[in-house]
Chain A
Amino acid sequence: MRFNPFIFFEKASRLRVLLFTFLILCFCLFVTDFFVKRYIYFEIESTYNFYSIYGFIMFSIIIFGSRLLRLLLGRPENFYAKKAVDNEDYPGKEEK
């Protein structure tokens, strides 16, 4: 069988290494902001670690906002019609 890099990371220990590496990267990015003088368009950018904080908060807002949206506007798949595309399986015969 061909080498599959994704299967290589199936093992929990290897995945942990990957995650740990990512956390270190985040830490490095966070700390590097101390030492870099950035060219800015707006004053707000000069806030320490503006991009890190903004990215983190905005992502969270998107997640919670979208959950609220689903709560308000979520409907079953057959809402528009019994045979709407939302509700049907892909007809595979002609293409498969």
Chain B
Amino acid sequence: MTDSEQKFELTVEKLCIRAGGSLLVENASLDLRSGELAVLLGPNGAGKTSLLRGILGLAPTATGSVRLQGRAFGEFNPQQRARRLSYLPQRRPLAWPSPVRDVVSLGRYAWGCAPGRLGAEDLGAVNAALAACDLLAMAERSTDTLSGGELARVHCARAFATEAPLLFADEPVASLDPRHRFRIMQLIRDHVSTGAGALVVLHDVSLAARFADRLIWMKEGRITADGPPTQTLTESRMAEIYQVQADINGNHVEITNPLP
């Protein structure tokens, strides 16, 4: 990874996203550095996906400042942005039954490649991503023959193959079994340990506490807390954010009752 020796820092200040008359995201400020895994938590409709899209430049109504290495992110063109920040969206449709290798190769799109037309460096990145996600044995298989867990790994590999210094993943473990949830988070953790920074949206608070360096808590479009799990994961925060009564013991979170 060539860019990872350099420290990357993404700074978001006072990001607002409007839709119709309401604010989806209100004055959100956060930063993300390489080598750091931050998890974004919050109930449905809190504005987590909107926040990611706003930072990525995919929400046309976003205002505020997003800077990467001090440079406004909006100054980069779509390809330059994609080389610095890879994005795993919440919905991950695959239109055609493409081979696994071709889907992962699309991670190199921003580097000017197409499946079947990869340079040596791109091929290396694709093979490394396939290996990291344990997909080498099924690289030539068609994606429509894979299980949900295998597909989730393919999408991760696609995002890793870009070798971008930063990664956004929106609910990467949704609808996966417990073992695969753990496995995908471990893959992202390993990716971070190679020097990347990751911002991951999760609904599984225990999983988040287990893997995250930082938890960013969101409710009704606002970031209400941001800090390590040991400091921010509390029973009162669970009540405030999710309106549930929870017993917390280290990383373990047991939800006992919904609050009225």
A and B are interacting partners: no
